[in-house]
């Protein structure tokens, strides 16, 4: 039954005696609140009001009937009277139910919140004349709501004003909610802007995707993270460091609904920590690693050297005139000098090497992963020369030199202390030797280093003073015994050393780069000689010239060969270039391109020392090669070593299959010759047929008709 019908039933005196009346009054007595019927007038004049009236208002029902003692209008809190009237009239106009909350002032003066629901009652003309409804005390609920609202306001204020960033997020949907502080930390104008923009946290926020993966893993495994540090991008792309705490928020089914946590910006702390770390491991004046870091690096270098079977070297450097400069020109100049020296030392090193300041005017260098002492010596020499270059201080041009001691791992020591001590004592030897120089700790290495330097100097001298010459070794056709070519082999007739064979200086020339001018000289001299013989009326012979790896690697090698041919007028088919297989294999594509261009000039190409390198059949087929020269080491033992014999046979067959000429090098005996004849080798070269000979001798022996 609706409340309207109920109210009608109660309001109608005729119905009061009806059998349900007892039930209604019972119901009404238990009803928490009051039921009423009032007129739509300025006092809301009550026609009926139930007993609940007393408990709700403090007045008896009779007090209200016909406004006997008080009107309902008066009961309504003055602040709410107008509102109540407006709501009622608006509802009646729309023919809707009235539903409103407002305050009343009880008889005892206390103020209560009430909830009223009512319906308008029309007269026979359809005009609303009365209201029927009920009113209940909702003060408690209102207070609870108010308390809740205030509590929410308080929390909101904490979150909104927190300096920490606070968030709720999910692994796939981005941020659900963030506070202004987090938006600020990540460089956004507002939380909403950040939520709209940051849709893919994994890639948009985290600098290292691995770190985000680690975060998700921790959330899954430990249900949260504490002080989890990562680098993130701000909106403008800047990178900052953050530390976050987060936990999983689970639903009733225990499934994770979202993450909730807080973030602080720890960039400044990180920078500070890095500074502290740097200060602990670096020298304040020069910015170079200090003694502590030096020890670590040296330890590392030793481990690297051990692993790669290389060497590591320690160079101890002491400035020769530091004390004098410091005392006479002052500490400021002294400091400046140390900085300049530090920079200069650094500029000589590779990135992997360490330049450290040991203290005072002492520097230590760790050279990591060098194959041999040669490169170490080169660096130390460069370093000494660079330190000795003049520099300006207080308008003066000053010059200092340094003395350097070098110890080498593993020869001179297997631990940090020993290596440093030995480098230090080598440095004192360098001082004794007159300063501005270096010494290895071991006598043997010193000898090697000095000899090397002397040979390099003499080689430069040799180039400038025409000390090189070419010898020619005949190549003989086995079938006929005729000389069908020659190989030009360099000889060095040094004024100080006598005749030096190429095995002694070619590797050094190669390493130092001197091979480039030397090789060019050989090429031009061999072409010129060949032309000279032809002009003298000898039958033309192809002459082979050895090309070094460095020459082959140069972009201008083809131009150089072309120029040598053109300037001497030699027909290209009388020039053969010998290259070793390893040179070619170093950069296959580049070599192939170079060889093709050389071939286009019309010269021949031979693979020298074949069998000692790593040629693959595949490349042999692709390369424009004319001849294979079987290395001397195989030929040497063909008569006694079955393996070598087998290899030589195999190479001969291979050459024939690939349609290449094959030359056996280093044939010294008749036995070897016979073996080669039997196995179909085309050509031979070796002492048995002729040693490398000076020009005159070669002409006399090899062009003489009937010699072969
Ligand atoms: P290679 O090109 O394999 O030259 C052959 C070497 O074997 C020459 O040594 C030659 O004298 C030697 N030889 C020839 N027949 C015999 C023999 O029957 N028995 C023995 N025991 N040795 C024999 P050489 O002249 O000392 O040259 C050595 C290497 O130096 C050459 O090996 C070549 O790689 C290089 N070389 C020589 N001249 C030049 C040059 O002008 N430029 C370049 N880049 N390298 C050169
Ligand atoms: Mg050769
Ligand atoms: Mg050879």
Ramachandran class of 562: left when φ > 0, alpha when ψ lies in -120 to 50, beta otherwise: alpha
pLDDT value, residue 24: 72
With a Cβ cut-off of 6 Å, ligand 1 is lined by 473, 489-490, 501-503, 506, 519, 522, 546, 548, 578, 608-609, 632, 665-668, 685-687, 692
Report the 3 state secondary structure along 18-38: CCCHHHHHHHHHHCCCEEEEE
pLDDT 10s digits, 348-381: 888 888 999 998 899 999 999 888 888 899 899 9
Name the residue with higher pLDDT: 555 or 587.
Answer: 555
d(CA 292, CA 280): 8
pLDDT value, residue 497: 84
Query: pTM of whole model > 0.75?
Result: no
Whose CA is closest to atom 16 on ligand 1? 666
pLDDT value, residue 579: 93
DSSP letter at 470 equals E
pLDDT value, residue 274: 92
CA of 615 to the centre of ligand 2 (A): 17
Q: Beta strands of 138-192 (E only): which ranges?
A: 165-170, 174-178
CA of 229 to the centre of ligand 1 (A): 65
Query: Nearest CA to 582 among 605, 611, 546, 561?
Result: 611
Q: For 101-136, give one letter per residue: b (16+ CB within 10 A) or e.
A: bbbbbeeeeeebbbbbebbbbeeeeeebebbbbbbb
Residue 269 has pLDDT above 70, yes or no: yes
Please, what sign has the CA dihedral across residues 648, 650, 653, 656?
Answer: negative
| Average of per-residue pLDDT values in the chain | 90
d(CA 381, CA 654): 49
pLDDT 10s digits, 186-223: 999 999 999 999 988 888 999 998 999 999 999 999 99
Contacts of 50 (CB under 8 A, 6+ apart): 10, 28, 31, 34, 35, 36, 61
CB count, 10 Å around CB of 400? 20
Q: Where do runs of H (alpha helix) occur along 162-290?
A: 180-185, 191-197, 201-204, 209-222, 267-281
Please, what sign has the CA dihedral across residues 610, 611, 612, 616?
Answer: positive
Q: Beta strands of 31-173 (E only): which ranges?
A: 34-39, 46-49, 98-105, 111-122, 128-137, 165-170
265 half-sphere exposure, CB direction, 13 A CA radius: 16
Whole-number Cα distances in Å, 129 to 62, 571, 688: 21, 131, 143
Domains along the sequence of the chain with CATH: 3-137 (3.30.450.20), 147-270 (3.30.450.20), 286-441 (3.30.70.270), 456-707 (3.20.20.450)
pLDDT value, residue 704: 60
pLDDT 10s digits, 479-517: 999 999 999 999 999 988 888 889 889 988 887 789 999
pLDDT value, residue 580: 87
DSSP letter at 65 equals B
Return the minimum-mean-pLDDT range out of 8-12, 418-422, 633-637: 8-12
Ligand 1 nearest-atom number relative to CA 551: 44
Starting from the CA of residue 606, give the closest ligand.
2
Residue 351 three-state SS: coil
pLDDT value, residue 616: 65
> Please, which residues have CB less than 5 A from ligand 3, an ion?
608-609, 665
pLDDT 10s digits, 608-627: 988 877 666 677 788 899 99
Tokens 């200092």 identify what position?
400
d(CA 338, CA 358): 12
Residue 10 has pLDDT above 90, yes or no: no
Residue 282 has pLDDT above 60, yes or no: yes
Whose CA is closest to atom 4 on ligand 1? 489
Ligand 1 nearest-atom number relative to CA 580: 34
Please say whether the beta carbons of 185 and 263 come within 8 A: yes
Whole-number Cα distances in Å, 602 to 192, 503, 522, 572, 599: 76, 30, 19, 5, 5
pLDDT 10s digits, 27-51: 777 788 999 999 999 999 999 999 9
pLDDT class of 21 with cuts at 50, 70, 90 = low
pLDDT 10s digits, 78-131: 999 999 999 999 999 999 999 999 999 999 999 999 999 999 999 999 999 999
Ligand 1 nearest-atom number relative to CA 470: 41
Residue 264 sits at the vertex; the CA angle it makes with 258 and 265, to the nearest 5 degrees, is 130
pLDDT 10s digits, 140-154: 999 999 999 999 999
d(CA 183, CA 235): 10
Whose CA is closest to atom 21 on ligand 1? 666
Residue 222 three-state SS: helix
pLDDT value, residue 512: 79
d(CA 550, CA 552): 5
């Amino acid at each position: 039954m609706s409340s309207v019908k109920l109210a009608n039933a109660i309001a109608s005196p005729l119905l009061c005696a009806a059998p349900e009346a007892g039930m209604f009054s019972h119901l009404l007595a238990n009803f928490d609140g009051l039921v009423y019927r009032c007129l739509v007038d300025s006092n809301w004049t009550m026609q009926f009001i139930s007993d609940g009236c007393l408990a709700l208002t403090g007045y008896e029902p009779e007090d209200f009937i016909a406004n006997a003692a008080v009107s309902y209008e008066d009961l309504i809190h003055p602040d709410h009277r107008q509102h109540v009237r407006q709501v009622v009239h608006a509802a009646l106009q729309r023919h809707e139910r009235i539903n409103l909350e407002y305050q009343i002032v009880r008889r005892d003066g206390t103020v209560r919140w009430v909830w009223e629901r009512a319906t308008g009652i029309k007269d026979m003309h359809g005009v609303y004349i009365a209201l029927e409804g009920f009113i209940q005390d909702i003060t408690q609920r209102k207070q609870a709501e108010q308390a809740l609202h205030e509590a929410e306001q308080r929390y909101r204020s904490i979150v909104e004003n927190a300096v920490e960033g606070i968030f709720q997020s999910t692994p796939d949907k981005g941020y659900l909610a963030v506070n202004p502080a987090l938006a600020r930390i990540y460089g956004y104008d507002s939380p909403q802007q950040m939520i709209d923009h940051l849709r893919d946290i994994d890639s948009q926020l985290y600098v290292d995707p691995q770190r985000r993966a680690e975060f998700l893993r921790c959330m899954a495994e430990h249900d949260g993270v504490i002080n989890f540090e990562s680098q993130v991008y701000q909106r403008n792309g800047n990178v900052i460091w953050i530390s976050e705490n987060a936990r999983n928020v689970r639903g009733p089914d225990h499934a994770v609904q979202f993450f909730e946590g807080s973030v602080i910006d720890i960039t400044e702390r990180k920078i500070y920590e890095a500074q502290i770390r740097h200060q602990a491991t670096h020298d304040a004046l020069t910015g170079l690693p200090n003694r502590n870091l030096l020890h670590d690096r040296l330890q590392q270098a030793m481990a690297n050297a051990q692993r790669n079977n290389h060497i590591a070297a320690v160079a101890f450097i002491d400035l020769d005139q530091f004390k004098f400069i410091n005392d006479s020109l002052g500490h400021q100049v002294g400091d400046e000098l140390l900085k300049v020296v530090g920079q200069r030392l650094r500029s000589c090193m590779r990135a992997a090497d360490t330049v450290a300041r040991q203290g005072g005017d002492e520097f230590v260098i760790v050279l990591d992963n060098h194959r041999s002492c040669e490169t170490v010596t080169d660096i130390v020499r460069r370093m000494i020369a660079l330190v000795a270059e003049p520099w300006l201080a207080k308008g003066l041009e000053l010059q200092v030199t340094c003395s350097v001691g070098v110890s080498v791992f593993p020869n001179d020591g297997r631990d940090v202390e020993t290596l440093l001590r030995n480098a230090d004592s080598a440095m004192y030897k360098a001082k004794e030797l007159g300063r501005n120089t270096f010494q290895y700790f071991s006598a043997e290495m010193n000898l090697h280093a000095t000899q090397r330097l002397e040979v390099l100097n003499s080689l430069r001298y040799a180039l400038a003073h025409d000390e090189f010459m070419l010898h020619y070794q005949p190549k003989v056709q086995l079938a006929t015994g005729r000389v069908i070519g020659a190989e030009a082999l360099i000889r060095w007739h040094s004024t100080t050393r006598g005749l030096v064979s190429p095995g002694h200086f070619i590797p050094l020339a190669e390493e130092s780069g001197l091979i480039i001018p030397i090789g060019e000289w050989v090429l031009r001299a061999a072409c010129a000689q060949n032309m000279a013989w032809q002009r003298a009326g000898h039958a033309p012979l192809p002459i082979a010239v050895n090309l070094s790896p460095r020459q082959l690697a140069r972009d201008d090698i083809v131009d150089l060969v072309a120029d040598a041919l053109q300037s001497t007028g030699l027909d290209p088919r009388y020039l053969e270039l010998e290259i070793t297989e390893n040179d070619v294999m170093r950069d296959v594509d580049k070599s192939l391109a170079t060889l093709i261009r050389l071939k286009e000039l019309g010269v021949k190409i031979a693979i020298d020392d074949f069998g000692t390198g790593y040629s693959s059949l595949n490349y042999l087929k692709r390369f424009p090669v004319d001849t294979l020269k079987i290395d001397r080491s195989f030929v040497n033992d063909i008569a006694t070593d079955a393996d070598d014999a087998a290899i030589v046979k195999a190479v001969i067959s291979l050459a024939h299959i690939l349609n290449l000429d094959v030359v056996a090098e280093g044939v010294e005996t008749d036995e070897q010759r016979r073996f080669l004849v039997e196995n179909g080798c085309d050509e031979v070269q070796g002492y048995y047929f002729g040693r490398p000979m000076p020009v005159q001798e070669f002409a006399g022996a090899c062009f003489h008709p009937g010699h072969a």
